Structure 1
Amino acid sequence: MNTAIILAAGQGTRMKSQTAKVLHKVGSKCLLQHVVDATRDYVETINVIVGHNSQSVKAAIKESKINWVLQEQQLGTGHAVQQAVPLLNDDSTCLILYGDVPLIQSVTIEKLLIKARTSGFSLLSVVLDDPSGYGRIIRDTNGLIQSIVEQKDASERQQNVKEINTGIMAIKCSLLKKYLNELKPNNVQGELYLTDIVESAVKDNVNIASFLCENASEVMGINDKKQLSRAERFYQVRQAEDFMSSGLTIMDPSRFDCRGGLTFGNDCTIDVNVVFEGDNVLGNNVLISPNCIIKDSKIGDNTSIFPNSIIENSIIGSSTTIGPFARIRPDTNIGDHSKVGNFVEIKKSTIKSNSKVSHLSYVGDSKIGDDVNIGAGVITCNYDGANKHQTEIKDGAFIGSNSQLVAPVSIGKNATIGAGSTITQNAPDNKLTLSRNKQSTIDKWKRPKKK
């Protein structure tokens, strides 16, 4: 049986934010949620130690396994873990993690727990070129761990050690309780250091197993906005590599962002500076061109999204083209073999198959049938200042350029609307409907001249 303790009580003053440190986000998910998600499959319970902004932290995390434990005074990592002691079963193995170390991988957690089963105590360490600020792993001549010395308490020789303590460990709960009870504030800060339990375990001849983490980004802590931005990029590159291993073509992983879930078929290509938000599904042979934002949407087979387009909470059919510079707003459903061109905005509308809205148009609250052609500059006037109204354009209709369709209004099947018309009444099937003032020329008119 395994349990976890996640330390998440720190104020995070270096973040310079009213938001609790562990609620800042990487990949649209808060730091603490990343740790919870990586842990949940390996433990029966998760004990989260909270302090500053505890109510907002509790409200943000969705997980049924969590016991929330309040650390009223922040007196060090050892003191924080002590708060969870009443919840620990002696026969369990306790995994200790940190809410501001979001990139820890599930496979690392699993390996750490496996090592702890045989030794009773395992530590996760990493070698850094610049270990400044971190506690050093001190080993004897046989390579066995003897202690962990914090940077502020380390001698000059100890500070030259490059193997550092990540703080992440797995230990049998009976041992943890014993060594927590022996902690003393023997340091410059006057705090109880969790790392001091290592020295106590060594004195008891406990063989502390170590597991060296090969990827330093996996155990990087987040203390300020610079570190947060670095964690975001590490996370995005890791996701990109996973997607590419599954067959997704990403033109430049360093300019790729997925802030949610992404499912894709075969032969999809993602160009630079594309941002995915929420949950998105791509069919086969989908092209997403540069500088697009796709949010909570589904895109069909053989569809191309051209540069600088935004699609949100919408469904795009197969063999359709969107953009460039198109905006597809929520609750839009566009059919197969259709086209939404440059500088077109579609909002809460259905456009069926083989229809075109090629350029410079606004379509809102509309039902558009099959084989409809909407010319340049067409506007569906859906808002009367108080309420929204619907426009219906039936199959085969042709809407001439620079027309305004004043909703509520219906355009009949195979109807034609003459260019430059303002349509306020229903247009019948198979007829030409237009509204224009008679054109006139004033012979004696002269252009004004600047005085």
Structure 2
Amino acid sequence: MTEQNRPLDVVILAAGQGTRMKSSLPKVLHPVAGRPMVAWAVKTARDLGARQVVVVTGHGAEQVEAALRGTGVVFARQAQQLGTGHAFLQGLGALDAQAGADVLVLYGDTPLLRPETLRELLDDHRARGSAFTVLTGELPDATGYGRIIRDAHGRVERIVEQKDATAEERAVQEFNSGVYLMDARARDLARRITNDNAGGEYYLTDLLGLYRAEGADVQAFKLADPGEVMGANDRSGLADAESIIRRRITQAHMRAGVTIPMPETVYIEDTVQVGRDVTLEPGVILRGQTRIDEGVTVGAYSVVTDSVLERSVKIKAHSVLEGAQIGAGSDVGPFARLRPGTTLGEQVHIGNFVETKNAQLASGVKAGHLAYLGDVTIGAETNVGAGTIVANFDGVNKHRTQIGAGVFIGSNSTLIAPRAVGDAAFIAAGSALHDDVPEGAMAVARGKQRNIEGWSRRYWGGLREKVQVKLPWLAGWLDRQR
């Protein structure tokens, strides 16, 4: 086995309580750009090609494990919070032993650490033949971090925690990130860590000294950007991490050919796929397993979640899509709402204030204004008039309506489900359908109009005093009728 092809195991420490978050949600489950913070560490480990990934849980263990179930990770419980060294030992115990495997330590609350940085760390560690490499950075004021103490020759000698450091050591600008890469000896050496320190904890940092005592080569790999290991310890830090990752995501999409005129206003989760020549107008939010094909425009302040937008779709401003599939060349909005189960064929038009739910609309369907289409299948080239309602709920159960191709539905019609409307049928405006409509038929389901002459003068005349106060224009009209 060569240095470069040794297997890599990753232990992610995620047992802390995170009291500064002031939340009932475990700290590592607070989301950043669509993923819980700990899920970013898992993704990074997977991107590195890790053979095994162990997540050490403690506070809120059941919630953390539930959130990561299905990702292929193994869990280890730290029942008592006795320090990072103790947590690491629990993680090692859950790993399958394999001779020669390197072990990388990551954390569940540092979502900004990029796989590219860790790949450089791994390559440097193996190229030097190092036994233990610590990832370090430099800050003008490293308060809160452990410091890297070097000997007269510039070699890493030890790591001292802030609470144990002297005034001279606290002035050191090189800090310990807490990320370590070590060889297989870590399994044995970690058992020698003691809690003989000011905090009475088992510090993982003591591993460096134990490696040195073995005569092993210890190295440091310095970060170009120390901000990558910034932890999100409170809501402010969470917002900072969100901003940085969001900027990375939008920049990556723009480099890949996406137009985002105001990237600082756009929110795109890491799981979203966006094709070339897509335009995302200001205020757009893209979430979940959304896929946007080439040439799509998403209008200002629209929200798209778990949806597919095929080529050349146009989503107009202030539209909300969730669990929808939009066929090529269709347009939606403005102010439309497409709920889960909505599927639009090609060249479908959904206009302003139209809502769909579990609705399948074939190619060329038009629903331009103020309609509710729930639990319905609509055939090709059907026109849905303004104010149309598919009344799918009877108070107990939902029912489905089938509407054929080439149907004309007049404005302000109500289809009381379950209904079937045949191809090329015509529904007169204002109809309330409680029966099926055969193919090619016209349905008229409304009462006959009756005009009662002089009704307004008799009715409102009896209320003239109140009318004078609240509706002076009507009082004037009544006076003119005398």
CA contact (8 A) 2:259 2:279 kept: yes
What is the CA deviation profile of residues 124-181 of structure 1, one whole-angstrom value per residue up to 9, with x for unaligned ones?
1122344221112223454322222222222333333332211001012315633x34
| 8 Å CA contact 2:256, 2:276 repeated in 1 | no
1:355–1:48 CA distance, 2 compared to 1 (3 A): closer
Tell me by how many angstroms 1:323 deviates.
Answer: 0.6
Partner residue of 1:106 out of 115, 119, 122: 115
- What secondary structure does 1:108 align onto? helix
Q: Which of 187-196 and 197-206 deviates more? A: 197-206
TM-score normalized with structure 1 length:
0.92
Is 1:232 the counterpart of 2:242? The answer is: yes
- The 1:423/1:42 distance shift into structure 2, 3 A limit, reads closer
Provide the residue aligned with 2:225 in structure 1.
215
Match of 1:443 in 2: 454
Q: Which residue of 2 aligns with 1:53?
A: 60
- Aligned mate of 2:83, from 76, 82, 95: 76
- CA separation in 1, counterparts of 2:263 and 2:148? 34
Residue type of the partner of 1:241? Q
The alpha-carbon distance between structure 1 residues 374 and 123, as it changes in their structure 2 partners (threshold 3 A), is same
1:2 equivalent in structure 2: 8
Q: Relative to 1, partners in 2 of residues 1:183 and 1:410: Cα closer, same or farther, differing over 3 Å?
A: closer
Q: Which residue of 1 aligns with 2:362?
A: 352
2:197 to 144, 162, 187: 187
CA contact (8 A) 2:349 2:366 kept: yes
SS at match of 2:125: helix
- Give the one of 253, 262, 267 matched to 1:252: 262
Decide whether aligned partners of structure 1 residues 324 and 65 sit closer, same or farther in structure 2, where only a CA change above 3 A counts. Answer: closer
> What is the 5 A alignment of 1:1-150?
1-40=7-46, 41-62=48-69, 66-86=73-93, 87=95, 91-117=100-126, 118-150=129-161
The secondary structure found in structure 1 opposite 2:290 is strand
Question: How much identity, in percent, do the aligned residues show?
Answer: 36
Cα offsets for 1:36-73 (capped at 9, x unmatched): 22113433222332222223322322367544323222
Question: How big is each residue's C-alpha offset from its partner over 1:238-281, in whole Å with a ceiling of 9 and x where there is no partner?
Answer: 12122222212223332222335222332111122222222122
Equivalent in the alignment of 1:384: 394
Cα gap change, 1:439/1:132 in structure 2, threshold over 3 Å: closer, same or farther?
farther
**Alpha-carbon deviations, 1:7-39, whole Å to 9, x = none?**
122122222222222222222322222212211
Q: Tell me if the contact between 1:115 and 1:209 (Cα under 8 Å) persists in the aligned partners.
A: no
Q: Is the 8 A contact 1:112 1:169 kept in 2?
A: no
- Which residue of 400, 403, 426 maps to 2:410? 400
CA–CA separation in structure 2 for the residues paired with 1:397 and 1:65: 51
Question: Which AA in structure 2 matches 1:344?
Answer: V
Deviation per CA, 1:415-451, whole angstroms, max 9, x where unpaired?
A: 3222222222223444443223313142253234343
Aligned with residue 177 of structure 2, among 138, 161, 166? 166
Q: Give, in whole Å, the separation in 2 of the partners of 1:175 and 1:315.
A: 50
Match of 1:152 in 2: 163
Separation in 2, partners of 1:265, 1:90: 44
Pair 1:426 & 2:432 matched: no
Q: 1:408 offset after TM fit, Å? A: 2.0
Write out per-residue CA displacement over residues 401-423 of structure 1, whole angstroms, 9 at most, x where no aligned residue. 11112122233333322222222
For structure 1, the residue ranges without an aligned partner over 5 or more in a row are none
Contact 1:90 1:174 in 2 (8 A): no
Match of 2:327 in 1: 317
Task: Give the Cα separation in 2 of the matches to 1:32 and 1:141.
Answer: 39
How far apart, in 2, do the equivalents of 1:403 and 1:107 lie?
59
CA distance change for structure 1 residues 417 and 63 in 2, over 3 Å: closer, same or farther? closer
The answer for unaligned runs of 5 or more in structure 2 is 1-6, 467-482
CA distance in 2 between counterparts of 1:439 and 1:335 reads 43
Aligned Cα RMSD in Å? Answer: 2.3
Separation in structure 2 between the aligned mates of residue 102 and residue 235 of structure 1, nearest angstrom? 8
Deviation of 1:341 after TM superposition, in Å, equals 0.6
**Letter in structure 2 aligned against 1:137:** I
Q: State how many pairs are aligned.
A: 450
Residue type at the aligned position of 1:235: I
TM-score, length basis structure 2: 0.86
Distance 2:70 2:101 in 1: 21
